[in-house]
Amino acid sequence: MTVILEAEGVSKIYGKGENSILAVDDVSLSVRRNEMLLIMGPSGSGKTTLLSIMGCILHPTSGEVRIEGKAVTGLHEDALPDIRKQYFGFVFQAFNLFPSLRAVENVELVLRLKKTDKTGIRAEALELLKKVGLGKRSHFYPADMSGGEKQRVAFARALAGDPPIIMADEPTANLDSRTGQDVLKLLRDMSEESHKGIVIVSHDPKAEALAHRVVFLEDGRIRS
Amino acid sequence: MLWLALKTLIHEKGRMVITLTGIIFSTVLTLTQVSMYLGMMGNATAVIRHVNADIWVMSKNVQNFDFANPFPEDRINRVRSSADVVWADRLILTWGFLKLAGGGQEQVQIIGFNPDTGVGAPWEMVSGKPADVKGGRYFIIDKTAEKRLGGLTLGTLWELNENRFKLVGLSQGVKSFTTAPVLFMAYNEVHNVLSGLVRQNQTSYIVAKLKDRARMQEVVAGLRNSMKNNDVLTTEEFVNKTVYYWTVQTGMGMGFFLTAILGLIVGGAIVGQTVYANTMEHLREYGTLKALGARNSDIYSVIFSQVAISAVAGFAAGSVIILFLRGGIEKAGVSLYLSPVIFGSIFCVILVTCLLSAFFSIRKVRTLDPVTVFRT
């Protein structure tokens, strides 16, 4: 399997001097296509910080992040939005959908952001919603949907523009057990069928059984 | 991103109503103040602008058209002696009292003009002709005075400073700054009958038309040199002097200006507050957009589009309200000067105020760290 995303010797220190906190400590990690990688660990272990660094949202204090072998760590802040647009889809614990937009429009929004040619965007958004099993709920507003449905919309949005990497932060945290299981299966299917590299940060023990690979983080370091 | 701006705006109807209320308030207040001010300045300078003269000669230190001082009328010969002058004429401006049918009286502004040349005559007649005032105790009065003076029927007799005059014509659109009714009569008749107001051989203004307006400054300089006891002004200078007097010297302009600014500030504050509250409420979504690859400029365009859409809708509604109220306001005797230029200018001011009010929202978005989207 091809490595698509790598973190090498990545550290992150918040604050300065005596009050500084070492959130991520010399972590090296790679993500491959067709793989669902699960990062587990207790609260405060640095999981979300690591996810943010690997997702090019946060600069590491030291170390390097590479996408398809190319280093992105040293790039200027202005270059990062384009990198995120091209390579990443994100799924958040609190869904983060626009309440004023229908399900299809939430997906469409990202397509509008990513594509210069706006033709066929609506059809593409509908197709993505069908893919996550929400074809018939595409015109509902988030407020009228269940937690599981909202998370599926978030998945469809993450898939918009066909990014090779999906980063999911606690995707089952706000869902009931059964819906959480469905969502994790969906993510695994995505990795296998769409040849994507998927990184999940989760406390959910069910995720462990479905992930291709599991990494435990403790005090900012990978526990071997 | 106009699409997202519109969707968000329409979805939050309550907030949109508050924003629009602020902009409508601003628009109505600013448009009313500006159009009222311009209407009053238009009235104050109406006669000067309609006489069709290039040069005005008056007593020293006359501050505005309404407060003229008499001076010897034979000075017209000095004006006529200039080779650059096509014609020159005299104009009297004075004040009198018109007795009303009920026994009361009303102060009126009297303009004495030459009915042979028509210089200084009313420029728009509803009935009768300016020349009808010639040869007797006749007068024309503006129709807008009807409410104050009672029925204005042609042929009726009126008492002006204890002299009987016959109403021979009705003009339209001639209002004075002081709101006193404007009455026109023959120049000679003011001397003959109302000599208590302006003595024989005296006049209020001498007006002149030039052959070549390009030589205006030379002619004015020449006349100033030869008429040391008078002020010689171009029409534009006299208009500006009159406007300056009413606006600055009386402090009235400041009153209008402050009210208009207050309207803009209150409207801007309402818009700024609702836009800021809207931004704060959507901070997580904006952070999500940033995480998904949106640039700050993409999010700025959403906020600015929302503000611009609100400004257009609020201004349009405010303008409709003004146009709807205009008839009633003018009926009450207040002149409103409204034109496409006024609407365009006020719209630009409202739009800029609204965009400026979005400044705090923009600052919030600029400093928004997309990492916040991972926090619950």
Tell if the CB–CB gap between B376 and A94 is shorter than 8 Å: yes
Q: Which of B338, B271, B370 minimizes the C-alpha distance to B35?
A: B338
Phi first, then psi: give them for residue A161, nearest 5 degrees: 85, 5
B23 and chain A: CB distance < 8 Å anywhere? no
CATH number of the domain to which A145 belongs? 3.40.50.300
Q: Does A99 touch chain B (CB under 8 A)?
A: yes
Where do the domains of chain B lie?
A: 2-43+251-374, 61-228
Contact list, A48 vs chain B (CB under 8 Å): 374
Report how many domains make up chain A: 1
3-state class of B129 per DSSP?
Answer: coil
**Nearest-neighbour CA in chain A from B375: distance (Å):** 8
Q: Which one, of B206, B193, B190, lies nearest residue B112 by Cα?
A: B190
Of B288, B293, B370, the CB nearest to A114: B293
Give the separation between CA B152 and CA B97, rounded to whole angstroms: 16
Chain A hits for B282, CB-CB cut-off 8 Å, are 98
**Neighboring chain A residues of B3 at a CB cutoff of 8 Å:** 112
Strands A213-218 and A221-223: antiparallel
Interface membership of A172 toward B (CB under 8 Å): no
Token pair listed for B203: 């006049």
The verdict on a CB contact (< 8 Å) between B292 and A94 is: no
Q: What is the pLDDT of residues A111-127, one digit of tens each?
A: 998 877 888 899 999 99
Q: Which residue reads 């699960």 in tokens?
A: A38
Helices (H), strands (E): how many in chain B?
12, 12
* CB contact B13 to A (< 8 Å): no
CB of B370 less than 8 A from some CB of A: yes
Nearest C-alpha in A relative to B11 = A100
Distance of CA A223 to the CA centre of its chain: 22
Model ipTM value = 0.86
In degrees, rounded to 5, the angle at the alpha carbon of residue A194 between the alpha carbons of residues A190 and A199 is 50
DSSP E strands, chain B: 55-59, 71-72, 85-99, 105-113, 125-127, 138-142, 157-160, 163-171, 182-186, 202-203, 205-210, 230-234
Helix (H) or strand (E) segment spanning residue B49: helix B13-50
Q: Cβ separation of B374 and A48 shorter than 8 Å?
A: yes
Contact A53, A14 (CB under 8 A): no
CB contact (8 A) between residue B374 and residue A99: no
Per the CB < 8 A criterion, the answer to whether B168 and B128 are in contact is yes
What phi, psi does B73 have (nearest 5°)? Answer: -75, -15
Which residues constitute the domain of residue A132? 3-223
Average pLDDT, integer, range A47-63: 91
Tens digit of each residue's pLDDT, chain B (376 residues): 788 888 888 888 888 898 888 889 889 988 988 898 899 899 999 999 999 999 999 999 999 999 999 999 999 999 999 999 999 999 999 999 999 888 889 999 999 999 999 999 999 999 999 999 998 899 999 998 888 888 888 999 999 988 899 999 999 989 888 889 999 999 999 888 877 778 889 999 999 999 999 999 999 999 999 999 999 999 999 999 999 999 998 888 788 888 888 888 888 888 888 888 877 878 888 888 888 888 888 889 988 998 899 999 999 999 999 999 998 888 887 888 899 999 999 999 888 888 888 888 888 888 887 777 776 5
Q: Whole-angstrom Cα distance, residue B257 to residue B367? A: 37
- Give the CA distances from residue B73 to residues A7, B49, B63, B204, in Å, rounded to whole numbers and listed in that order: 98, 22, 20, 8
Interface test with B, best of A48, A53, A90 (most B CBs within 10 A): A90
Closest C-alpha among A198, A177, A169, A216 to residue A35: A198
